[in-house]
Amino acid sequence: MVAALRMQQNQMMTPNPYKTALAQFDRAVKYLDYDDSIIEFMRYPRREFTVNFPVRRDDGRVEMFTGYRVHHSTILGPSKGGIRYDLHVNMDEVRALAMWMSWKCSLVGLPYGGAKGGVIVDPTKLSQRELENLTRRYASELIPLISPHADIPAPDMGTNPQMMAWFMDTYSMTVGYSVPAIVTGKPISVGGSEGRTVSTGRGVVINMVEALKRSGVNDFSQIRVVVQGFGNVGSNAAAYAHELGFKVVAVSDVYGGIYNPNGLDIPSLLEHQTINRRVQGFAGSDVVTNEELLLLPCDVLLPCAMEGQLTERNATQVQARLVVEGANGPTDPEADDIFHDRGIQVVPDILANSGGVIVSYFEWIQDLQSFFWDEAEVFRQLDRILVRGYDLTMRTAEEYRVDMRTAAQIAAIKRVADALKTRGFYP
């Protein structure tokens, strides 16, 4: 399919996450007293880049692909954010994800602005060599925009450490020397960090534990957890939750879900998934659809798939008492209101899934210093920063008497707005 047609179809199919991001922003800034010019400035992405580029397929044909990179903010430092390979990618999605990265980095105190990139492609339909061609060409198209001091990409949906290695190699070959700090989420052998692969999922569980402990729950053995999505975030969240003694009763991937009210053996499920490339078919589990999965009886729901999953259509039927957002933007503003009315606590994405970018930050520091940490040090620092972010969110929620999402947004926006005010508008 030609790139232009793919682009058009995408725009028609998907709900608009940028509308959600802007609605959340508007809700938060109502509580803040900044000049209109400051608020208006933060509503806009700083730069938006679209690239159309050729990729040689294994059969010799050359096919055109479309990719994006958006820098939402560079106020607090270089922009930071992942690259997504998915057929649903479109400019508004990338804009939303870039804006969320700005707030995420700000909330947990990282010296970064926010960015995001994406290519409209189904990576499962390309061979390794085609993926390498696509990644290298996309990376070379981004060269005018990226540098270890300007914009640092990372993995997201559909991308992985190997692709980050190709990305790093392409940049390094272009400038003539090795620059590991150009991208994070790399394999350890080329300057990646211990703990990066598991960090987003681990961070989701740390947030879940924090929320439960603060509501007086210390025995996790009877806490039933449902995980939507079994990619990097969902599978590592399920594994860590299982390790801590939680009962993970259901998980799903793009093909559908599985359920066992007595708990799934996650280590065996991970083996099953490696062999079968899907979770369904796992011994002793019932089949459920992705939609049914969200509504199963449970205590905690971890949406770790993608945006727009919890809406006014299903939020009234969710049975969990706690939602911890592993994905970016899984809950839209109408669903947020329903959860609030029903007393369901939502730990918002910009806090809940910030473990990934926090360890990306550690990776970047290690690359710049050429001094590498052990896993225990990574996890200790990750824990510290996440709990600090959680504390800040709760303090803000109390101060403004708002829910956790609005509080997280307020705290994050304030930090950017204060820096912007202090820096002033150029010229």
Contact residues for ligand GLU (CB under 6 A)? Answer: 80-82, 154, 156, 184, 328, 353, 356-357, 360
Rounded least distance, CB 203 to ligand GLU, Å: 10
Rounded least distance, CB 357 to ligand GLU, Å: 4
Q: Which of 356, 347, 315, 2 is nearest to 160 (CA)?
A: 356
For residue 374 the two structure tokens come to 């052990």
Provide the greatest CA pair distance for the chain: 65
Q: Map the chain to HEC letters.
A: CCHHHHHHHHHHHCCCHHHHHHHHHHHHHCCCCCCHHHHHHHHCCCEEEEEEEEEECCCCCEEEEEEEEEEEECCCCCEEEEEEEECCCCHHHHHHHHHHHHHHHHHCCCCCEEEEEEEECCHHHCCHHHHHHHHHHHHHHHCCCCECCCEEEEECCCCCHHHHHHHHHHHHHHHCCCCHHHCCCCCHHHCCCCCHHHHHHHHHHHHHHHHHHHCCCCCCCCCEEEEECCCHHHHHHHHHHHHCCCEEEEEEECCEEEECCCCCCHHHHHHHHHHHCCCCCCCCCEEECHHHHCCCCCCEEEECCCCCCECCCCHHHCCCCEEECCCCCCECHHHHHHHHHCCCEEECHHHHCCHHHHHHHHHHHHHHHCCCCCHHHHHHHHHHHHHHHHHHHHHHHHHHCCCHHHHHHHHHHHHHHHHHHHHCCCC
Q: Which is nearer to ligand GLU, 152 or 223 (CB)?
A: 152
Q: Which is nearer to ligand GLU, 105 or 402 (CB)?
A: 105
Q: Which is nearer to ligand GLU, 106 or 285 (CB)?
A: 106
Q: Which of 212, 216, 273 is nearest to 241 (CA)?
A: 212
Confirm whether 116 is a catalytic residue. yes
Q: Residue of minimal CB distance from ligand GLU?
A: 82
Q: Which is nearer to ligand GLU, 309 or 328 (CB)?
A: 328
Q: Which of 299, 252, 298, 303 is nearest to 278 (CA)?
A: 252
Rounded least distance, CB 120 to ligand GLU, Å: 17
Rounded least distance, CB 261 to ligand GLU, Å: 32
Q: Which is nearer to ligand GLU, 154 or 249 (CB)?
A: 154
Sign of the alpha-carbon torsion through 314, 317, 322, 326? negative
Backbone phi and psi for residue 194, each to the nearest 5 degrees, phi listed first = -55, 140
Q: Which is nearer to ligand GLU, 285 or 328 (CB)?
A: 328
Q: Which is nearer to ligand GLU, 193 or 406 (CB)?
A: 193
Rounded least distance, CB 123 to ligand GLU, Å: 15
Q: Which is nearer to ligand GLU, 158 or 295 (CB)?
A: 158
Torsion angle (degrees, nearest 10) of CA 175, 75, 96, 25:
180
Rounded least distance, CB 185 to ligand GLU, Å: 6
Q: Among the options 19, 30, 80, 116, which is catalytic?
A: 116
CA angle 37, 38, 39 (to 5 degrees): 95
Residues designated catalytic: 116
